[in-house]
Amino acid sequence: MSKNQLRSDKTCLNCNHVVHQRFCPNCGQENTDSRKTFHHLFIHFFEDLTHYENAFWKTIRNLLLKPASLSKEYLSGKRLSYLAPVRLYIFISFITFFVISIVAEGTELESKPLREIRPPAGLKLTPAEMAELREIEAVEIKQKKVDSLRVAGLFTKDEAESMKQSLEKNYKAVKIGEEFGYRTVRQLDSVQHSLPESKKFSPVKYWFYRKMTLINQKGMTGEELVNKFKESFLHNFPKVLFIYMPIFAFFLWLFHSKKRWYYFDHGIFTLHYFSFLLLVTLISISLDSVLTLLHSDIADLISQIMIFGVICWMLYYFFPAHHRFYGESRGVSFIKTAVLFFINFIIVFILLLSFMVYTLINLH
């Protein structure tokens, strides 16, 4: 029960009904002071989330260790003992993507220095590798000249480092375009117009080459391109996931009896399953971040084993959850889950591909 002080005024603020005790007999609102400090707001939010009855931890425990138990309990009518499915999903997804965004900011990809790109000494090189080695050596010569000018007093140390990094960045940016064979859009358009109709690039291939060449002209490195994808992914993936859940529930509806199961039932199962996936992701990312701070080979090994175990548990979880929730034989349940996995894998692949295209279109 809330410990907030009761109002001296006995008129309910919500419905104007006379309140003789703590709660209004007409609408159920508590007759306490509505103005709260930040501390009271935080406590009220947490109490409301956990129902003040240990429902939160009970929900989390069952979600992780008892596949489908929450869905079965909810549909059987036992709803006050656990967090509501929608509230559970929103809470876990918010915390998960918040933590992912924080971790992502601290793990920006670092550019490899040219000395790590350089082929090993004494190795027999192909003509292409020889050409690349000469380009690397040309950049390194320019960097040495910058160092000489710094020693001569023409540049400060910071200015020299900035110029050397710029030389590396420009080299790597050019390499992005060269992988597709074109340094400029003008060159690409010239080739496209000169080819006979039968050998011209398809519209999709031409669009992709043109986009990558434009990225090259803007001087964007491979690391910057990956970071752009990462930023777009973190921003849009929660929306994509929320939109995908009704599709996931729809396929469950297609594979099960329409008389026994409503679409609503499949929706509840889907909410709990996706909440589980996000919660396990949150736990694994949090533990991996802690282990990374130790900077030891043992910690890295433990992290890899943990991630492998988490992936296995995430893949396996759906099988017992499906079997227990729908009450079908293990054989029938296994066949249905295998088919559902295949269908959803195809859909997820298409969604990710569409997402990559969307990100490329919106690159500035």
Cβ atoms of 83 and 59 closer than 8 Å: yes
pTM higher than 0.75: no
> Helices (H) and strands (E) in the chain — how many of each?
13, 0
**Which of 174, 168, 161, 182 has its CA nearest to residue 219?**
174
pLDDT given for residue 280 in this prediction: 92
- Asked if the model's pLDDT at residue 171 lies above 60, the reply is no
- Asked if the model's pLDDT at residue 356 lies above 60, the reply is yes
User: What is the arithmetic mean of pLDDT over 278-287?
Assistant: 90
Considering only residues 115 and 82, tell me which one the structure prediction assigns the higher pLDDT.
82
pLDDT, one tens digit per residue, over 147-158 is 777 777 777 777
Backbone conformation region of residue 287, classed left if phi is above 0, alpha if psi is from -120 to 50, else beta: alpha
CA distance 354 to 359: 9
Beta bridge partners of 305: none
pLDDT, one tens digit per residue, over 44-68 is 666 665 554 567 888 899 999 999 9
pLDDT, one tens digit per residue, over 298-319 is 888 888 888 888 888 988 999 9
CA distance 348 to 352: 6
Beta bridge partners of 23: 30
- Asked if the model's pLDDT at residue 17 lies above 50, the reply is yes
Considering only residues 152 and 284, tell me which one the structure prediction assigns the higher pLDDT.
284
